[in-house]
Amino acid sequence: MTQGYFITGTDTGIGKTWSTIALMQYFKNHGKTVLGMKPVASGCIELDGQLKNEDALLIQKYASVSLPYQDINPYAFELPVSPHIAAQAVGANIDLDEIVSKYQQLEKQADVVLVEGVGGWRVPLNAHQDVADLARQLDLSVIVVVGMRLGCINQAKLTFAAIQQAGVICSGWIASCVEQDMLMLEENIQTLSLAVNMPLLGVLPYMNHLDPERLSREIAIES
């Protein structure tokens, strides 16, 4: 049976994609075939006549199976703004049922499928639904990426409270070191470990360049 995880974060730009790649490599190293998906992306650029997102391209690159870009990122928007606004700007509507259908196609082709959300847990996707609704409809266990910087304790506690309120399963969290020299890093990680009552799956070090193998060695997930 396919394992599936939904990767969310405490904010935008805090390492969700690198965490997703690290998890993909981790599962590949454990003999699994792995696919990733970034259903919604804003801030895309045109490549080969198609809007594409840098993060989604990385997810496509590190997958075990070669898939068309459209299968990985069905909703791609040019404007680097909240996805519901980017969609409205071009007269589009993000349909969660379509995303679920795409996911169901992917899960038939791999042992593990990782779905990366957009922004944080409550980012709107359309007029009535947000990232939390998407995670619920996909019925996936959630992994939270916490960007380790000043303010992260508050953001993480609020995110975990919202996830608990949503009634979804949370498999744990990843500490993503987005600052090269965060003051009192270990103390912040310890505070969160005691506060959120969810397992810490890994601490990803600050890096200038993506190294999936190096990052995967920092991940540990109980079977």
Rounded to an integer, what distance in angstroms lies between the CA atom of residue 100 and that of residue 186? 38
Pairing of strands 170-176, 200-204: parallel
Distances from the Cα of 151 to the Cα of 11, 37, 90, 146, angstroms: 11, 29, 34, 10
5, 140 contact by CB (below 8 A): yes
Give yes or no: 157 in active site.
no
Distance of CA 164 to the CA centre of its chain: 18
Rounded to an integer, what distance in angstroms lies between the CA atom of residue 176 and that of residue 179? 9
Burial of residue 208 (number of CB atoms within 10 Å: 0-12, 13-18, 19+): exposed
Q: Which of these is catalytic: 38, 52, 61, 108?
A: 38
Please give the positions annotated as active site.
38
